[in-house]
């Protein structure tokens, strides 16, 4: 017991040190990692220790040489990729799960919360009839969803693809703006990356329905089995939402699995001003969302929702294993009516996806929703959408700025312009590098209709409205400094 208390005290100490280092990190007061590169690398680059140094020394190294030189992702000015630093509730819940329930299985409070939190998410996103399974990120979430699509498509022609393998070439219909994990999922599932039919988009980044219909008809004529239609509920580049209802109707007409990739953008449905853009979501067969994106969860938490979870069971179930099948009792002994948590595996999430060993992810979502509720999440989503709209408005008004997309969600791409600039793409690419190296505002870049733009994406719980103004001011300052050098 003394040892356990000592370890608890050490954990408290380390959390306090981490909190202090993180607070310093978030106030932009940490040393620039590039200039301090030699120092921290020399401190960490040691031979494998033959004798341990003890937990106190490990804690000291973590707080002095690891945490201060971590990722810029938790920084409030980081808007590059659609990922963010975890909220406090998320970090606490993750730590609790790591200590008290290292696996999501067995009849525990954590296993119960896994399902409860999935139901809460489904209700929050207006898809209460869907059931879900957590995974590590959008890559796996899309893989699981398309695994269900593969099972559905082949079962219609009397084949169990999970057991028997594939017997025909298939077509998967996704826009040119789809996330590249769609192609990878098809490669892993054995249908092939080239099975993905890239469908063109309009100027606003939304899939063209005429081209979708033509691609399906062409494949049918060739004897190719249509497997899935993939819609974007918030593209990575500009946050565009495909015409979900029209796509759902086409999927229904052709008896094709309809999948909605909402890894980033599904929480946008909470903003009542744009909720109508999600009409047709309820007609999907599968939907994904990453709570570690816009909801503020610690990284490693994604969700696949399906209308029929049994199809995932048929697609991903494992063969029996002796070491598992007889280990749990599955029900209490009649004479005692007492159950042990190891009497049952709980809900068998290991049969609904690709992971056997997996952490308890639901408790993180549960903790975040307990903390601020649906209304708190809605307020955060609306603020981020307003920040993108603010950038669009100001960029349209300033003679040296040009907005490249009218934002639907929390992304607005823009660029610096001036008559003196001959190569706008090259100029803005160099401007972006100077901006990021200043270490305060860190967007990414992308191309919108062939034009390179600076791309802030607001998803972090620590983003504040004044950062939108600060970013524009920083871009104008650097842009004019570069103009003076021409």
Query: How open is the CA angle 313-231-206, to the nearest 5 degrees?
Result: 175
Phi–psi pair at 306, nearest 5 degrees: -140, 155
Q: Which pair of tokens denotes residue 128?
A: 């209460």
Does one domain contain both 115 and 211?
Answer: yes
Residue 350: predicted pLDDT = 87
Cα–Cα dist 178/175, whole Å: 5
Q: What's the N-to-C CA distance of the chain in angstroms?
A: 70
How, if at all, do strands 131-135 and 302-306 pair? Answer: antiparallel
The verdict on residue 388 lying in a domain is no
Q: Which pair of tokens denotes residue 162?
A: 């999970």
**Does the structure show a pLDDT above 70 at 404?**
yes
**Does the structure show a pLDDT above 80 at 393?**
yes
Out of 16, 39, 70, pick the residue that ends a domain: 70
Number of domains in the chain: 2
Does one domain contain both 52 and 23?
Answer: yes
Does one domain contain both 209 and 158?
Answer: yes
Asked if 166 contacts 127 with a C-beta cutoff of 8 angstroms, the reply is no
Out of 343, 368, 393, pick the residue that ends a domain: 368
How many other C-beta atoms are found inside a 10 Å radius of the C-beta of residue 348?
Answer: 13
Out of 368, 392, 420, pick the residue that ends a domain: 368
The verdict on residue 475 lying in a domain is no
pLDDT, tens digit (0-9, with 9 covering 90-100), for 101-148: 888 876 788 999 999 999 999 999 999 999 999 999 999 999 999 999
Would the CA dihedral through 13, 18, 23, 25 be positive or negative?
positive
Residue 42: predicted pLDDT = 87
The verdict on residue 293 lying in a domain is yes
Does one domain contain both 15 and 137?
Answer: no
CA 21 to chain centroid, in Å, comes to 26
Q: For the ranges 40-49, 111-120, 384-393, which has the lowest average pLDDT? A: 40-49
- Its domain, for residue 12, covers 2-70
Does one domain contain both 103 and 16?
Answer: no
pLDDT, tens digit (0-9, with 9 covering 90-100), for 367-376: 999 999 999 9
Does one domain contain both 62 and 197?
Answer: no
Residue 23: predicted pLDDT = 45
**Does the structure show a pLDDT above 90 at 345?**
no
Q: For the ranges 107-116, 156-165, 416-425, which has the lowest average pLDDT? A: 107-116
Residue 30: predicted pLDDT = 41
Q: Which residues contact 314 (CB under 8 A, 6 or more apart)?
A: 151, 155, 160, 162
Does one domain contain both 44 and 189?
Answer: no
The verdict on residue 83 lying in a domain is no
List, as one string, the DSSP characters of 136-205: SSHHHHHHHHHHHHHHHHHHTTT--HHHH---S-EEEEEETTS-THHHHHHHHTTS-GGGEEEEPB-TTS
**pLDDT class for 321, splitting at 50, 70, 90?**
low
The verdict on residue 11 lying in a domain is yes
**Does the structure show a pLDDT above 70 at 382?**
yes
Does one domain contain both 201 and 63?
Answer: no
Question: How many alpha carbons fall within 13 Å on the CB side of residue 379?
Answer: 8
Does one domain contain both 258 and 341?
Answer: yes
Asked if 96 contacts 363 with a C-beta cutoff of 8 angstroms, the reply is yes
Give 98 or 146, the one with higher predicted confidence: 146
Per-chain mean pLDDT for the chain? 89
Does one domain contain both 146 and 54?
Answer: no
> The domain spanning residue 163 has which CATH number?
3.40.640.10
% of the chain at pLDDT higher than 70: 87
Does one domain contain both 50 and 117?
Answer: no
Q: Which residues contact 408 (CB under 8 A, 6 or more apart)?
A: 234, 238, 239, 240, 241, 268, 274, 277
Does one domain contain both 150 and 239?
Answer: yes
Residue 49: predicted pLDDT = 93
């Amino acid at each position: 017991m003394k040892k356990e208390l000592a370890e608890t005290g050490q954990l408290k100490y380390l959390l306090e040190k981490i909190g202090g280092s993180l607070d310093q990190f978030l106030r932009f007061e940490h040393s620039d990692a590039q200039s301090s590169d030699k120092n921290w690398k020399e401190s960490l680059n040691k031979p494998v220790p033959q004798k341990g140094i003890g937990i106190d020394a490990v804690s000291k190294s973590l707080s002095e040489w690891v945490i201060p030189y971590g990722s810029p992702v938790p920084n409030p000015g980081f808007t590059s990729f659609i990922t963010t630093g975890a909220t406090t509730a998320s970090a606490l819940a993750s730590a609790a799960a790591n200590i008290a329930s290292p696996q999501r299985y067995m009849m525990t409070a954590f296993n119960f919360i896994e399902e409860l939190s999935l139901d809460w998410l489904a209700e929050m996103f207006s898809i209460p009839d869907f059931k879900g399974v957590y995974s590590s990120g959008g890559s796996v979430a899309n893989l699981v969803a398309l695994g269900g699509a593969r099972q559905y498509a082949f079962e219609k022609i009397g084949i169990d693809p999970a057991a028997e393998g594939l017997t025909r070439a298939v077509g998967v219909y996704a826009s040119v703006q789809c996330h590249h994990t769609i192609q990878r999922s098809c490669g892993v599932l054995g249908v092939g990356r080239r099975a993905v039919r890239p469908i063109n988009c309009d100027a606003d980044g939304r899939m063209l329905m005429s081209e979708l219909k033509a691609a399906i008809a062409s494949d049918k004529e060739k004897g190719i089995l249509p497997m899935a239609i993939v819609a974007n509920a918030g593209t990575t580049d500009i946050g565009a939402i495909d015409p979900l209802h029209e796509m759902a109707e086409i999927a229904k007409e052709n008896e094709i699995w309809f999948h909605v990739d909402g890894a980033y953008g599904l929480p946008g449905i909470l903003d009542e001003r744009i909720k109508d853009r999600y009409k047709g979501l309820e007609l999907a067969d599968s939907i994904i969302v990453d709570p570690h994106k816009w909801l503020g969860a610690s990284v490693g938490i994604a969700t696949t929702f399906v209308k029929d979870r049994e199809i995932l069971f048929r697609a991903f179930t494992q063969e029996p294993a002796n070491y598992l099948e007889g280990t749990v009792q599955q029900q209490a002994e009649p004479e005692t009516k007492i159950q042990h948590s190891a009497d049952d595996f709980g809900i068998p999430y290991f049969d609904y996806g690709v992971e056997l060993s997996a952490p308890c992810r639901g408790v993180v979502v549960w903790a975040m929703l307990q903390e601020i509720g649906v209304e708190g999440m809605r307020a955060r989503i609306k603020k981020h959408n307003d920040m993108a709209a603010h950038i669009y408005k100001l960029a349209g008004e300033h003679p040296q700025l040009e907005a490249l997309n009218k934002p639907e969600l929390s992304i607005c791409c823009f660029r610096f312009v001036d008559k003196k600039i001959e190569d706008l793409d090259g100029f803005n690419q160099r401007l972006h590098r100077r901006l990021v190296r200043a270490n305060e505002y860190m967007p990414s870049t992308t191309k919108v209709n062939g034009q390179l733009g600076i791309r802030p994406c607001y998803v972090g719980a620590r983003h504040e409205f004044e950062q939108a103004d600060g970013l524009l001011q920083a871009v104008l300052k650097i842009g004019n400094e570069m103009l003076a050098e021409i």
